[in-house]
């Protein structure tokens, strides 16, 4: 049954939400905490539409989610990769005919490590707010600068995600918006995530620093800019989106693809607390790694983050252009539950009967004097270092031919594990990443029997 939060936890979450609304002076704030898609708590603080105080404010109220849109664009790129229609290390030139930025790759754009300039076209963009025409994108792209060497540092680029949106459109032979609807919104059931905002919706505002009178803001991320930040959504739909990312339908997006997207590509700060994956920010907090994204656009400041181990998701949506710390607030909401009222873990359940050839491989093995334990979990062969912290992820193996396995997760990922047998067919040793593993500890000069 769904976890029910303690009254003290709900009060603490309410306080965090009210403090965030006050600190950000945002007319409206909607927030929620969920566990693997089950909403545990939600709040609406303030007034969604100052011109119509009757507009409801809650989990179904739409806000401009701005750059949280990038997570959708990134997932579509990885879907194309899984379909064999592109590779992450392909130059963008291969998929945008006429492009003249050699060496800029799909992976670099996903991870904000390409060194391409931050914004599209001209320096006057944020002054004029003129949306560049779609049919001129390649010409405009060629006129932009690569301001840093690739992989030198994390350098956020809306331009890069506009380019990725054009790659999606080019490969699918339809608009980015049509691909989004068919590839993600319909399959995942995100009915409240749209390009055109619909009621009930929060207004878009800017609150000046020396006044407490909000000013209405324009809708900006339209047309070609949409792939970088054009969506509107709700707390409820972002909870559903993150529930999908925590446990995807393999027919839509493979589990191992999500895991790949959440591997660090480049550090985001000098304190080693944050990194960038493929479309997702990664934040370390209290021993947990939260993945997600923030969004910032005129009248829309948002944050949505999840922790894979606990299954918790924190979401905050605000409608003041200069609202504060969406990342910190979303994670703080999730952390409050993780630290003080975490849902119970799923009970242990027996696994299926393992393949007979796995049974002789389980138990303790030694390499370079250190003990390793091979075991079977959920029908698959795993390895852990003897005495390791139980929370350390194991190495996981998949069959890779007769008497051979491929490491698909954990330590030595990608390397082969090969079974070496005696003449009578019994197992003599294992060779993992070419290092030998024997039943007894041996020095390098001692030969296995």
**pLDDT tens per residue, the chain (449 residues)?**
789 999 999 999 999 999 999 999 999 999 999 999 999 999 999 999 999 999 999 999 999 999 999 999 999 999 999 999 999 999 999 999 999 999 999 999 999 999 999 998 766 788 888 888 999 999 999 999 999 999 989 999 999 999 999 999 999 999 999 999 999 999 999 999 999 999 999 999 999 999 999 999 999 999 999 999 999 999 999 999 999 999 999 999 999 999 999 999 999 987 778 999 999 999 999 889 999 999 999 999 999 999 999 999 999 999 999 999 999 999 999 999 999 999 998 899 999 999 999 999 999 999 988 999 999 999 999 999 998 888 888 999 999 999 999 999 999 999 999 999 999 999 999 999 999 999 999 988 888 88
What per-residue confidence (pLDDT) applies to 392? 87
pTM for this structure?
Answer: 0.93
Could you tell me the two tokens for 289? Answer: 């790694």
Tokens 């003249």 belong to which residue? 100
Task: Provide the edge-to-edge strand list for the sheet that holds 281-285.
Answer: 38-46, 28-35, 312-318, 300-307, 288-297, 281-285, 274-276, 266-267
Residues in the chain: 449
Could you tell me the two tokens for 380? Answer: 């698959």
Domains 7-340 and 356-437 alike in fold: no
The torsion of the CA quartet 120, 124, 127, 129, rounded to 10 degrees, works out to -40
C-beta separation of 64 from 232 below 8 A:
yes
C-beta separation of 245 from 52 below 8 A:
no
For 102, counting Cβ atoms within 10 Å of its Cβ (0-12 exposed, 13-18 middle, 19+ buried), the class is: exposed
Alpha helices in 111-157 (DSSP H): 125-128, 137-142
**What's domain 7-340's architecture?**
3-Layer(aba) Sandwich (3.40)
Could you tell me the two tokens for 64? Answer: 């401009």
Class for domain 356-437, per CATH? mainly beta
Could you tell me the two tokens for 53? Answer: 């105080």
What per-residue confidence (pLDDT) applies to 123? 62
Name the nearest CA neighbour of 158 among 80, 97, 243, 220. Answer: 220
C-beta separation of 428 from 449 below 8 A:
yes
Map residue 256 onto helix, strand or coil.
helix
Q: At what angle do helices 69-82 and 158-172 cross, to 10 degrees?
A: 40
Could you tell me the two tokens for 377? Answer: 């979990």
Torsion sign, CA atoms 62, 68, 70, 75: negative
Report the chain's terminal Cα–Cα distance, integer Å: 54
For 354, counting Cβ atoms within 10 Å of its Cβ (0-12 exposed, 13-18 middle, 19+ buried), the class is: middle
Kindly state the DSSP code that residue 405 receives in the 8-state scheme.
E
What per-residue confidence (pLDDT) applies to 2? 80
Kindly state the DSSP code that residue 108 receives in the 8-state scheme.
H
Q: How far apart are CA 169 and CA 175, in angstroms?
A: 5
| Domains of the chain by residue range | 7-340, 356-437
DSSP string, 345-403: PPPP-PPPPPPGGGGGG-EEEEETTEEEEEEEETTEEEEEETT--TTSPPEEEEE-STT
DSSP string, 203-243: --EE--TT----EE------GGGHHHH--EE-HHHHHHHHH
CA 356 to chain centroid: 38
Alpha helices in 83-218 (DSSP H): 106-110, 125-128, 137-142, 158-172, 176-180, 186-188
Map residue 122 onto helix, strand or coil.
coil
What per-residue confidence (pLDDT) applies to 271? 75
Q: How far apart are CA 377 and CA 348, in angstroms?
A: 11
Name the nearest CA neighbour of 49 among 30, 32, 75. Answer: 30
Could you tell me the two tokens for 357? Answer: 């050839």
Tokens 């750059």 belong to which residue? 67
Map residue 127 onto helix, strand or coil.
helix
Backbone dihedral angles phi then psi of residue 395, each to the nearest 5 degrees: -80, 140
C-beta separation of 441 from 369 below 8 A:
yes
C-beta separation of 334 from 306 below 8 A:
yes
């Amino acid at each position: 049954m769904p976890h029910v939060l303690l009254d003290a936890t709900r009060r603490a979450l309410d306080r965090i939400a009210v403090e965030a609304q006050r600190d950000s002076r945002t007319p409206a704030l909607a927030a929620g905490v969920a566990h693997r898609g089950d909403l545990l708590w939600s709040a609406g603080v303030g007034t969604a539409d100052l011109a119509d105080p009757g507009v409801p404010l809650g989990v179904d109220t739409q806000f401009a989610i701005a750059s949280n849109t990038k997570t959708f664009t990134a997932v579509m790129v990885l879907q194309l990769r899984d379909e064999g229609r592109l590779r992450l290390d392909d130059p963008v030139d291969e998929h945008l005919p006429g492009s003249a930025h050699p060496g800029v790759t799909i992976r670099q754009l996903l991870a904000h490590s390409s060194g391409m300039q931050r914004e599209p076209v001209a320096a006057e963009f944020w002054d004029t707010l003129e949306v560049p025409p779609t049919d001129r994108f390649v010409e405009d792209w060629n006129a932009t600068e690569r301001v840093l060497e690739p992989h030198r540092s994390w350098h956020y680029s809306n331009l890069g995600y506009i380019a990725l949106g054009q790659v999606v459109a080019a490969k699918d032979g339809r608009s980015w918006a049509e691909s989004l609807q068919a590839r993600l919104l319909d399959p995942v059931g995100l009915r409240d995530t749209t390009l055109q905002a619909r009621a009930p919706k929060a207004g878009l505002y800017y609150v000046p620093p020396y006044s407490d009178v909000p000013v209405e803001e324009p809708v900006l991320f339209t047309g070609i800019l949409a792939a970088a930040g054009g969506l509107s959504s709700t707390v409820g739909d972002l909870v559903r989106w993150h529930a999908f990312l925590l446990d995807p339908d393999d027919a839509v997006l493979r589990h191992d693809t999500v895991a790949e997207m959440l591997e660090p590509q480049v550090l985001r700060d000098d304190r080693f607390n944050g990194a960038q994956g493929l479309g997702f920010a990664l934040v370390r907090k209290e021993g947990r790694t939260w993945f997600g994204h923030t969004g910032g656009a005129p009248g829309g400041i948002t944050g949505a983050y999840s922790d894979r181990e606990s299954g918790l998701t924190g979401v905050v949506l605000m409608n003041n252009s200069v609202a504060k710390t969406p990342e910190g607030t979303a994670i703080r909401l999730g952390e409050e539950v993780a630290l003080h009222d975490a849902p119970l873990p799923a009970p242990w359940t027996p696994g299926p009967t393992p393949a007979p050839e796995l049974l002789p491989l389980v138990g303790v093995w030694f390499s370079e004097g250190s003990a390793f334990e091979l075991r079977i979990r959920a029908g698959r062969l795993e390895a852990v270092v003897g005495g390791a912290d139980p929370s350390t992820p194991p190495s996981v193996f998949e069959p890779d031919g007769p008497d051979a396995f491929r490491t698909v997760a954990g330590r030595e990922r990608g390397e082969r594990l090969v079974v070496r047998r005696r003449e009578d067919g019994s197992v003599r040793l294992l060779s993992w990443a070419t290092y030998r593993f024997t039943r007894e500890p041996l020095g390098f000069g001692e030969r296995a029997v």
